[in-house]
């Protein structure tokens, strides 16, 4: 008899973040500045046909809008049900069950989950900037996952380091996934390098800066040979009609709404850094719409629970490798960050 469930699923549990409603939710890095207005307009104008008809099979309008926005060829773009959907398709396309997915730790927690969901073996690697990047590829993993700016540390990977890594990856044939979920809040990205590479794939999402997490839209940019395989493992009808139309409208919008959001996030991020430092904390520098604050020996779950009692949610990171117990705080608007600071003062007094 075939065993049930499959071997790799025995230790796997459902994702269970704390999503109880709270006044000031700074726990999941989604937008606290509303949804992109061009997307909202599409949703308000929805017709019955948007519900009765199937969406386009491979989200062709969205691919086109992404290609135009990033000035890359159409066959360098794939799309998915959030960038989570693309992680899943990329893992499936690049590796056989049993093969390894290497990643720098700490990083996005879903990587391990998606590796296991596909019967692959997650291989966390601790590494410093000074280390030779090709060491990451020592065991010849099927795939290497990187995240820059990294969730949850906020760290931006340096360009020369990525370039050295890519040379090694290309000679081994290893696919490198670079998750740029937060690149909108940093300066610079690797999109053009990816499109010209043979092995680099960039993942992007509409869930953060665009404020569209509820729609589940993500996209990938990379060399056509890799994109073609991702499209196969992605499968048809992954994005709803309204999701695609709203994402296209947001990408095509020229009213600079996004620029305003990004500037405000960057400004408030710097202000929060200074406020925290002024109180004696040592927050990590961040290129994302969040800041990681090491708690200097305090237990992160207790601090998080105490903040919640005061109406503020953050994400706890117990015993984070190389950092210790920490909380991650999303960069909400000024009044929400002030609420957080007051609450933090009170619970850590
Ligand atoms: C939030 C986040 C995403 C976005 O995932 P979606 O499925 O597009 O909502 C992807 N990668 C990282 C590192 C994230 O933090």
Atom of ligand 1 minimally distant from the CA of 108:
13
Neighbours of 322 (CB within 10 A): 10
- Cα of 84 from ligand 1 centre, angstroms: 6
What does pTM read for this prediction?
0.97
Measured in whole angstroms, the distance separating CA 21 from the mean position of its chain's CA atoms is 22
**Calpha distance 223→98 (Å, rounded):** 26
**Alpha-carbon distances of 107 from 30, 145, 175, 283, rounded to whole Å:** 17, 9, 18, 17
Q: Confirm if 221 and 204 have CB atoms less than 8 A apart.
A: yes
CATH topology of domain 37-252: 3.40.640
Q: How remote is the CA of residue 106 from the centroid of ligand 1, in Å?
A: 15
Q: With beta carbons less than 8 A apart as the criterion, state whether 287 and 156 touch.
A: yes
Start and end residues for every CATH 3.90.1150.10 domain found in the chain: 7-30+257-347
H-helix or E-strand spanning residue 243: helix 241-252
In which residue are the tokens 């520098």 written?
285
Query: To test the ligand 1 pocket, which listed residue (88, 183, 205) has its Cβ within 8 A of the most ligand atoms?
Result: 205
**Closest-CA residue to 321 (of 114, 106, 123):** 106
Alpha carbon of 133 to ligand 1 centroid (Å)? 24
The CATH code of domain 7-30+257-347 reads 3.90.1150.10
The predicted pLDDT at position 133 comes to: 80
| pLDDT for residue 130 | 63
205 CA → ligand 1 middle, Å? 6
Tell me what pLDDT residue 210 has: 97
Query: Where exactly does CATH 3.40.640.10 map onto the chain?
Result: 37-252
Q: What is the pLDDT of residue 129?
A: 64
Mean pLDDT of successive 10-residue stretches along the chain, which has 349 residues: 86 88 97 96 98 97 98 98 97 94 94 94 82 81 96 95 92 95 96 96 98 98 98 97 98 92 98 98 98 97 98 97 96 98 97
Give the residues surrounding ligand 1 with Cβ less than 6 Å away: 29, 82-84, 108, 147, 151, 179, 181, 205, 207-208, 213, 218
Task: Using alpha carbons only, give the angle 26, 123, 160 rounded to the nearest 5 degrees.
Answer: 75
Residue with tokens 């937008």: 31
Which residue, by CA, sits nearest to atom 14 of ligand 1? Answer: 181
């Amino acid at each position: 008899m075939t065993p049930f469930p499959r071997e790799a699923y025995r230790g796997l549990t459902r994702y269970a973040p704390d999503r109880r409603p709270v006044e000031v939710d700074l726990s999941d890095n989604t937008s606290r500045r509303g949804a992109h207005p061009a997307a909202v307009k599409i949703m308000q104008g929805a017709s019955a046909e948007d519900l009765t008809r199937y969406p386009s099979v491979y989200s062709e309008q969205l691919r086109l809008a992404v290609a135009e926005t990033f000035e890359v060829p159409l066959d360098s773009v794939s799309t998915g049900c959030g960038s989570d959907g693309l992680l899943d398709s990329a893992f499936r396309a690049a590796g056989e069950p049993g093969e390894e997915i290497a990643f720098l730790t700490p990083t996005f927690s879903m990587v391990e989950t998606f590796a296991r969901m596909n019967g692959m073996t997650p291989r966390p690697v601790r590494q410093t900037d000074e280390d030779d990047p090709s060491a990451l590829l020592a065991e010849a993993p099927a795939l290497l996952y990187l995240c820059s700016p990294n969730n949850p540390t906020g760290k931006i990977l340096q360009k020369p380091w990525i370039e050295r890594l890519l040379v090694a990856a290309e000679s081994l044939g290893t696919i490198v996934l670079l998750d740029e979920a937060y690149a909108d809040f940093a300066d610079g990205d690797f999109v053009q390098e990816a499109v010209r590479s043979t092995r680099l794939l960039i993942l992007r999402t509409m869930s953060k800066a665009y404020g569209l997490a509820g729609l589940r839209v993500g996209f990938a940019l990379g060399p056509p040979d890799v994109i073609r395989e991702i499209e196969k493992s992605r499968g048809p009808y992954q994005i709803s009609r309204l999701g695609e139309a709203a994402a296209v409208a947001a990408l095509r919008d020229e009213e600079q709404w996004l620029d305003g959001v990004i500037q405000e996030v960057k400004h408030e991020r710097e202000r929060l850094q200074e406020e925290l430092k002024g109180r004696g904390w040592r927050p990590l520098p961040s290129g994302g719409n969040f800041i990681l604050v090491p708690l200097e020996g305090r237990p992160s779950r207790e601090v998080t629970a105490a903040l919640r009692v005061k109406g503020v949610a953050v994400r706890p990171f117990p015993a984070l490798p190389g950092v210790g117990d920490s909380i991650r705080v999303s960069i909400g608007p000024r009044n929400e960050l002030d609420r957080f600071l007051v609450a933090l003062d009170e619970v850590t007094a």
